[in-house]
């Protein structure tokens, strides 16, 4: 899925350098993935991993989400947070233009 998304975005000169996900969930059907993990929001382990692997300017970084757990993860990582709006494209464009 991530490969297909990246291929489509490249056509518009949009590049994603890294994708993180958590295979763990407290109610996972597969036993080895059935556990709590700080990788899942409101935990911020994935964000912290990305911060270690990439030279990121946190003053120019932001996160967009639709849940309180998204906000909590961003806050723990000291990243500016915006709640998702109806038009994601317009929202991102507006954030970038005003940042």
Q: Specify the CATH number for the domain of residue 66.
A: 3.40.50.1000
Long-range contacts of residues 65-70, Cβ cutoff 8 Å, at least 24 apart: 65/41, 67/41, 68/42, 69/41, 69/42, 70/41
pLDDT at 2: 86
Rounded to two decimals, what is the model's pTM?
0.79
Number of domains in the chain: 1
pLDDT of residue 15: 85
Q: Which domain holds residue 30?
A: 2-97
The predicted-structure confidence for 41-94, as pLDDT tens digits, reads as follows 999 999 999 999 999 898 889 999 999 999 999 999 999 999 999 988 899 889
């Amino acid at each position: 899925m991530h490969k297909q998304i990246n291929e489509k975005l490249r056509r518009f000169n949009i590049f994603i350098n890294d994708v993180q996900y958590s295979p763990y969930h407290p109610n996972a059907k597969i036993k080895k993935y059935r556990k709590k993990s700080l990788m899942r929001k409101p935990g911020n382990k994935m964000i912290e991993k990305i911060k270690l692997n990439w030279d990121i300017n946190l003053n120019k970084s932001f996160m967009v989400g639709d849940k309180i757990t998204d906000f909590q993860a961003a806050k723990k990582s000291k990243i500016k947070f915006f709640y998702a709006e109806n038009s994601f494209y317009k929202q991102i464009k507006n954030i970038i233009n005003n940042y």
